[in-house]
Amino acid sequence: MAKEEILSAMLLTVSDSLDKRPGSFIYDALAPVAERLADTDEQIASAQTKLVIDNLTSDELTERVRERTGMERKAATRATGVVTLTGTGTIVAGDLFETAGGVQFKASENAAITITGNVQVEAVIAGSAGVVPAGAITLFPVTLAGFSAVTNASPTEDGFDQESDADLIVRYYERIRTPATSGNKAHYLNWAKEIAGVGDARVIPLWNGPNTVKIVLIDSDKTPASAGVVDEVQNYIDPGISGLGDGQAPIGAFATVVSAAGLAINVTATIHLTPGYSVTQAKTAITSSLTALLKNIAFVENIVSVARIGAAILTSEGVADYSGLTVNGGTANIAISSNQVAVLGTVTVNV
């Protein structure tokens, strides 16, 4: 309730025989009280909204989820990779390498190199910014004696941002709505999704006979999980697939963790451009729309709908209309198995 409303209500309780006009003793005495009561009302209203977990953000959300479930928000992770150095000398853990865009990596090991050699590196700053393509790491921010060139033959991987509020809330509701107990399916799903870099998981019971469980992973980008993420989940749930109870899985349960296989979705279409847009601009927008679509259906739906592909193209910026749409060379929906995740392959745009 606003200060003015509270003050008016308080003044109504005072006899009209007394002076309660603005500037009077009674008015001036009640006005500060009304202001404080209005502040209190506002604080109570704010506290009430925070009783609903969907209204919480940042540290407040992290604390509430921890209090109610014991779950922790997944922290950002540093991307890792390998650089190849040209020259002869010694690399010390912590030596820096850099991309043209200023993304820095540090050596994670000591290495003596003669003429050429490889060194493991990790991003200086955690998060997805550390995921860079092959050939991106080419600079020495600080001169390293004896070395003339550096590059990365493969992209860096496993750099993931801190778990978002939205993703943490989804995981929170999964935890409370599907109680995990005694190594049931929900238990394995929760264990897998506690690891940073895991975007979702499927649990396949009895996949190789009694007492066997398969956990199929995708990463936070809803693409196939890297070997590093798979290994981390395997070691957390059932190290060495031993069934010895050395991880989270109970004794006698043999849990095998694998990555989903990527199913490439190749799209071809003829488009009619919106005036003022180039083919390049439209293709970039289409690629972004299709990537978002496949991310949204990952481990949720078991087909890639040609109709939804068409809708994603049609709603892309720069596209007025389209025709001749084919997906993987045909016009039928594409089935996705329980061990697969659809990922965008080639996008061919004709005009």
CB atoms within 10 A of CB 343: 20
Quote the CA–CA distance of 123 and 161 in Å, as a whole number.
Answer: 12
Strand-pair category, 340-350 with 261-273: parallel
Residue 218: pLDDT above 90? Answer: yes
Residue 48: pLDDT above 90? Answer: no
pLDDT tens digits for range 113-123: 999 999 999 99
The two tokens of residue 122 are: 């990790």
Mean pLDDT of 55-59: 95
pLDDT tens digits for range 263-310: 999 999 999 999 999 999 999 999 999 999 999 999 999 999 999 999
Cβ–Cβ under 8 Å, residues 313 and 289: yes
Quote the CA–CA distance of 117 and 120 in Å, as a whole number.
Answer: 10
Residue 1: pLDDT above 80? Answer: no
Query: Of how many residues is the chain composed?
Result: 351
Amino acid at 109: E
Beta partners for residue 201, in sequence order: 217
pTM more than 0.85: no
Strand-pair category, 116-123 with 212-219: unpaired
pLDDT tens digits for range 303-340: 999 999 999 999 999 999 999 999 999 999 999 999 99
Mean pLDDT of 103-129: 98
Of the candidates 57, 80, 60, the one whose C-alpha atom is nearest the C-alpha of residue 68 is 60
pLDDT tens digits for range 186-204: 999 999 999 999 999 999 9
DSSP 3: H
Provide the CB-side half-sphere exposure for 108 (13 A, CA).
13
Quote the CA–CA distance of 23 and 218 in Å, as a whole number.
Answer: 69
Question: Please, what is the average pLDDT of the chain?
Answer: 96
pLDDT the model gives residue 160: 96
Phi/psi of residue 34, each to 5°?
Answer: -60, -40
DSSP of 135-160: T-EEE-SS--TTEEEEE-SS--B---
- Burial of 45 from C-beta contacts in 10 A (0-12 / 13-18 / 19+): exposed
DSSP 132: -
DSSP 332: S
Residue 225: pLDDT above 90? Answer: yes
Which has more pLDDT, 95 or 47?
95
pLDDT the model gives residue 280: 96
Cβ–Cβ under 8 Å, residues 279 and 351: yes
pLDDT tens digits for range 228-246: 999 999 999 999 999 999 9
Long-range contacts of 62-71 (CB under 8 A, 24+ apart): 62/168, 65/168, 65/172, 68/172, 68/176, 69/172, 69/175, 69/176, 71/168, 71/171, 71/172, 71/175, 71/194
Quote the CA–CA distance of 98 and 83 in Å, as a whole number.
Answer: 11
Mean pLDDT of 120-147: 98
User: What share of residues in the chain are helix, strand, coil (percent, to 5)?
Assistant: 35, 30, 40
pLDDT the model gives residue 47: 85
CB atoms within 10 A of CB 225: 30
pLDDT the model gives residue 143: 95
Mean pLDDT of 132-149: 97
Which range (36-40, 78-82, 237-241) has the least confidence? 36-40
Cβ–Cβ under 8 Å, residues 213 and 188: yes
Provide the CB-side half-sphere exposure for 32 (13 A, CA).
4
